Structure 1
Amino acid sequence: MNNLHKKKDVYELTRLNNLFTRNEINIPGFDDYRVLKCDFHTHTVFSDGLVWPDGRIYEAWQDGLDAIAITDHIEHRINQDLLNGDLNQSYKIAKTAADDMELIVIPGVEITRDKPLGHFNALFIQDANLIEKEDPLDSLAEAKKQGAFIVWNHPGWPDNNVTLYPIHEQLITKGIINGIEVMNYKDFYPKAIHWCVSFKKTIMAGSDVHCTISGMYRNRFRPMTLVFAREKSEAGIHEALLARRTIALFDGYMAGEIQILSQFVKSCIKIKYMKNSCIAVTNVSDIPFHIFNEDDSYMLPERKTIMMRIPANHLWTLENCFVKEDSKLSISINELRLE
């Protein structure tokens, strides 16, 4: 009974409480930027989700995130007859819990229409109520008026066709769309990476979680956006998103602009030259890397060191790092840090 905490006649097994246990994710930054792990696409009972807003905060904290956005649908509120409160209510509830957990919560909404328009998240909004309009283009215009960062969500859903329609070209040309989800829920859209690079839009990933997230990804990371920010704050995240300093991460796959992704890889991997024409390669991050080295393929697990021969051309291809739809990141080992 030495491990039990007694209160009068009751013994508490407090060691079994895992609610306030955080799964830390160790990912290095580079230069003066720190990495913030963010999920910019979540839903609560105030639209069509199954979780109370503060529950999303506890989940995010447990998953090792630094920030989330509450992005309930404006038009799709299945519990509207049961719940009081306006369109800002879910954010307000989440914000109270987030302040206690020192987690950043970003106000947002999802503007929801069928294709060809599709769905859009408006982040960093001021008042969700003003964004509710009959015409979705008016909703987007109001969101931009409030200074919102607009994300085109899951371009391959629900028909599995990743299509750039004329309406999207118009919204991109007008500067309405700021970012595009290349990873969402359980889907990966490599084609959308090309659009982000071509149109200079921010590469994003989000879970789009509706039910409880525990167990959904079999103890792997949820889809998230790695944000390289100057400071841990809402303003710091906003600035980094506008500057396109992001990497989309899901199931060990990454997508990012070549400059950002190459700098990130250099911060994660270091090498040591051995006496036998081999190198020791160390991954200091919690993200695995799949290295193709001439005719050889290596898995570099998270926080592990492996030995490999030195490639004649000193070049690697990172098979899990996408810089375009059909292009992986190539990097010279001469650019990596020496241990």
Structure 2
Amino acid sequence: MKTKFFSLLILTYSLSLNAQLESRREIKIPDIPGYLTLKCDFHMHTVFSDGLVWPTLRVDEAWREGLDVIAISDHIEYHPHEDDIPVNFGRTFEIAKPRAEMYGIIIIQAAEITRQMPPGHYNCLFLEDVAELDQPDFWEAINAAKNQGAFIMWNHPGWRQEDEIPIWYDDHTKLYEQGYMHGMEIVNGRSYYPLALEWCVEKNITIFGNTDVHSSIGMDYDLSLNDQRPITLVFATDRSKEAVKEALFDGRTVVYSGDMLIGKEEFLKPLFNRSVELVNTDLDISSGGTFNIQIQNKSEIPYYLVSTEQPEGLEYPEKITLYAERTVMMRLRISRGTASNVSGIRLPYTVKNLLTNRDTGLPVELVISTPAMK
């Protein structure tokens, strides 16, 4: 009897553990008007170059962590495991694709052209034939990618530079001017390159944040501690490879790294507005007084707000932290004279961890409506 009981207990535990392992953590970031917000990682490696995992594991990791799109970009030129795993360009994609289809993950065929700086390393996305990039001359390799209609991204521009500060060389001017540089990583793993962000804003280059993961993702990021891998948010018209490609060429991306969102105001502002809701704003302020305003943050990203001005007759916090997936209380004082002359309240803030450029936060307004506004 005891033997049967313990056997049943072990079986129940095993099934429970297996169910936990086959669960997906959804990334709580909203869609924005007109677009789906797809969560993506466009830079990772497997044993078919210098990575340490099999291609199907990259798909499993992506599904469990809430990703929608991945690109496995094994090196063209570097294969330290070739004594055990023969060089076979495109094999990574062939192995991973059925697994990705099973999980509903969009997988993009990709490869990394790997040369000394300058010009550096470049991910080529949406390839048809990876082997065509195996050229001794860098410019022939990059041209082979362009001829396939690939999206070309400059990887980790600050890698191995002093203090990780990127340098723009003449080769990069040539790449940019001749249409070989469509995107750039401003975040690679735990490295952030503010100067690269400035270049992207100035030159209208699509921004990316990727892992460049080589070992298993759990060796680099601890999800149990909310240690989220950096990802690229892509704003696509639908959930398809073609829509992702169109969005990348159109520059519709935001980088999510740590507790930062980095990107154009036209995408950051609707993300913030779709995430944040003032719960009890229908107030009668005609006589002034003190009001407690509840502000709900429905996203998994905390927002750090700093007041940009204090309009006369209003008192409210200079700083507010809107904690992830929480509701916070803000106290607002309105003088009687001010209340008699307004039909609604707009409180201007800057969101310090939503960056539109280097050290430039996103301007927002918390709008408190009144009966007169309706």
Compute the TM-score of the two structures, normalised by the length of structure 1. 0.92
**Mean CA deviation greater in 73-82 or 281-290:** 281-290
1:231 corresponding residue in structure 2: 238
**Mean CA deviation greater in 153-162 or 52-61:** 153-162
2:40/2:234 contact within 8 Å kept? yes
Aligned pair in 2 of structure 1 residues 116, 309: CA closer, same or farther (>3 Å)? farther
SS in 2 for 1:286: coil
Deviation at 1:48, TM superposition (A): 0.2
Measure the CA separation in 1 of the matches of 2:182 and 2:332: 41
Aligned equivalent of 1:329, options 357, 362, 374: 362
SS in 1 for 2:22: coil
Deviation at 1:278, TM superposition (A): 4.2
2:36/2:235 contact within 8 Å kept? yes
1:106 corresponding residue in structure 2: 108
SS in 2 for 1:239: helix
Measure the CA separation in 1 of the matches of 2:213 and 2:261: 20
Measure the CA separation in 2 of the matches of 1:164 and 1:194: 12
1:194 corresponding residue in structure 2: 198
Aligned pair in 2 of structure 1 residues 13, 63: CA closer, same or farther (>3 Å)? same
Deviation at 1:298, TM superposition (A): 2.3
Measure the CA separation in 1 of the matches of 2:332 and 2:258: 28
> Which of the pair has more CA radius of gyration?
2
Measure the CA separation in 1 of the matches of 2:327 and 2:118: 47
Aligned equivalent of 2:266, options 259, 262, 267: 259
2:319 corresponding residue in structure 1: 297
Deviation at 1:222, TM superposition (A): 0.5
Deviation at 1:172, TM superposition (A): 1.1
Aligned pair in 2 of structure 1 residues 282, 48: CA closer, same or farther (>3 Å)? same
1:42 corresponding residue in structure 2: 44
Letter in 2 for 1:263: P
Aligned pair in 2 of structure 1 residues 179, 22: CA closer, same or farther (>3 Å)? same
**Mean CA deviation greater in 295-304 or 147-156:** 295-304
Aligned pair in 2 of structure 1 residues 263, 6: CA closer, same or farther (>3 Å)? same
Aligned equivalent of 2:67, options 49, 65, 68: 65
Measure the CA separation in 2 of the matches of 1:280 and 1:164: 47
Identity of aligned residues (%): 36
Aligned equivalent of 2:218, options 214, 218, 239: 214
Deviation at 1:313, TM superposition (A): 6.8
SS in 2 for 1:41: coil
1:23/1:63 contact within 8 Å kept? yes
**Mean CA deviation greater in 87-96 or 189-198:** 189-198
Letter in 1 for 2:361: K
Count of aligned pairs? 336
Deviation at 1:218, TM superposition (A): 2.6
2:114/2:121 contact within 8 Å kept? yes
Confirm or deny that 1:314 pairs with 2:347: yes
2:152/2:182 contact within 8 Å kept? yes
Deviation at 1:191, TM superposition (A): 1.4
Confirm or deny that 1:243 pairs with 2:250: yes
Unaligned 5+ segments in structure 2 are 284-289, 309-316, 334-344
Compute the TM-score of the two structures, normalised by the length of structure 2. 0.84
Aligned pair in 2 of structure 1 residues 10, 185: CA closer, same or farther (>3 Å)? closer
Confirm or deny that 1:156 pairs with 2:158: yes
1:282 corresponding residue in structure 2: 296
2:27 corresponding residue in structure 1: 25
Aligned pair in 2 of structure 1 residues 93, 4: CA closer, same or farther (>3 Å)? farther
2:299/2:324 contact within 8 Å kept? yes
What is the correspondence of 1:85-104 to structure 2 with a 5 Å cutoff?
A: 86-104=88-106
Unaligned 5+ segments in structure 1 are none
1:205 corresponding residue in structure 2: 209
More helix, by proportion: 2
